[in-house]
Amino acid sequence: MQVQVMNHPLIQHKVTLMRQKETGSKDFRNLLEEITMLMGYEITRDLPLEDVVIETPIAKMTGKQISGKKMGIVPVLRAGLGMVQGMLNLVPTAKVGHIGLYRDPQTLEPVEYYCKLPDVVDRDFIIVDPMLATGGSASAAITLLKNKGIENIKLMCLVAAPEGVQRINKDHPDVRIYVAALDDKLNEHGYIVPGLGDAGDRIFGTK
Ligand code: URA
């Protein structure tokens, strides 16, 4: 299984807080934003740098800056929205696209109901979705981006089931998956076990 589990102590501590059923929406949202920033720090490690000449109050020097690489953040609606601000805190110039998918009750396959993306030319994309369960929606979201000609795609999730990781590995072996936790399995209702419940409901305080 190809997946990078980000096991920094701060990430692990915060995921444990998020899992607890007593954690309310406000804390859940804040923790998700914090974890997204911690994960985003690692995920953006390969951003190319270039030299830039600047002047400090004391002297001229050559510093480093990110070399204009364009980035797109794409939350899968609706739970993915909870990871957008964390990424924007790190990369304020990133553009944000949105993908909405629902599951066809007959075929159980994801169907696109919304897709709005920024200019895709020379842009690297990170798809964000807290829960990688069956992998059906994440795989469909990746296909959607690939069909627009996007080549460099990463998938960033909070909690994954092995089933979801395997599905992405099979459908999109070129896409790297980053997670904060790899859990045991899916239950018969499609929830990740032990997981944290319905991420969208916990972010937005719905039932
Ligand atoms: N989506 C969720 O929000 N939680 C799960 O456990 C699985 C899918």
Model ipTM? 0.96
User: Domain spans of the chain?
Assistant: 3-204
204 C-beta closer than 6 A to ligand 1: no
**Residue 109: predicted pLDDT:** 87
**Residue 176: predicted pLDDT:** 98
Q: Say which DSSP state 76 is in.
A: B
Enumerate long-range contacts of 90-96, CB under 8 Å, 24 or more apart.
90/37, 90/40, 90/41, 90/44, 91/40, 91/44, 95/70, 95/71, 95/119, 95/123, 96/72
* Alpha-carbon torsion angle 65, 142, 176, 9, nearest 10: 80
191 C-beta closer than 6 A to ligand 1: yes
- Residue with the smallest CA separation from ligand 1 atom 4 is 198
What does the alpha-carbon distance between residue 173 and residue 180 come to, in Å, rounded to a whole number? Answer: 20
**Residue 108: predicted pLDDT:** 79
72 C-beta closer than 6 A to ligand 1: no
**Residue 58: predicted pLDDT:** 98
As given in the structure block, the two tokens for residue 203 are: 């972010």
CA of 160 to the centre of ligand 1 (A): 9
Position in ligand 1 atom list of the atom nearest CA 193 = 6
CATH class for the region spanning 3-204:
alpha beta
pTM: 0.96
CA of 64 to the centre of ligand 1 (A): 40
The residues of the chain scoring below 50 in pLDDT are none
What does the alpha-carbon distance between residue 137 and residue 167 come to, in Å, rounded to a whole number? Answer: 10
